[in-house]
């Protein structure tokens, strides 16, 4: 449902990564998986957004870890972004 809203708002594509089968995965492990998926599926991405609430104990670190692994700048806990 959230991906449909994002695409309706102008996103080109989206991906939900479910790690239910890996319950002991921490933010570092999730970040490795997500960065590998991004490199494989969205290698030409110019902007990647992560939700505010995540399974990283709400520490808001998964998105920043992915940005670091991808060699991208990252923002955390921002309310508004203008491009």
Which pair of tokens denotes residue 52? 């505010």
Q: Are 42 and 48 within 8 A, CB to CB?
A: yes
Distances (CA, A) of 21 to 12, 25, 70, 72, 75: 28, 9, 25, 28, 29
Share above pLDDT 90 across residues of the chain, in percent, rounded to a whole number: 13
Per-residue pLDDT reduced to its tens digit, 36-73? 999 998 888 888 887 766 655 667 788 889 999 999 98
- pLDDT bin (cut points 50, 70, 90) of residue 80 is confident
Angle at CA 46, nearest 5°, toward 83 and 22?
120
pTM: 0.73
Q: Which residue has the higher pLDDT, 52 or 17?
A: 17
């Amino acid at each position: 449902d959230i991906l449909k809203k994002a695409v309706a708002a102008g996103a080109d594509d989206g991906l939900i990564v479910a790690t239910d089968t890996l319950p002991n995965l921490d933010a570092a492990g999730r970040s490795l998986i997500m960065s590998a998926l991004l490199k494989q599926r969205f290698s030409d991405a110019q902007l990647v957004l992560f939700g505010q609430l995540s399974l990283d104990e709400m520490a808001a670190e998964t998105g920043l870890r992915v940005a670091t692994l991808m060699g991208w700048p990252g923002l955390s806990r921002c309310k508004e972004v203008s491009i």
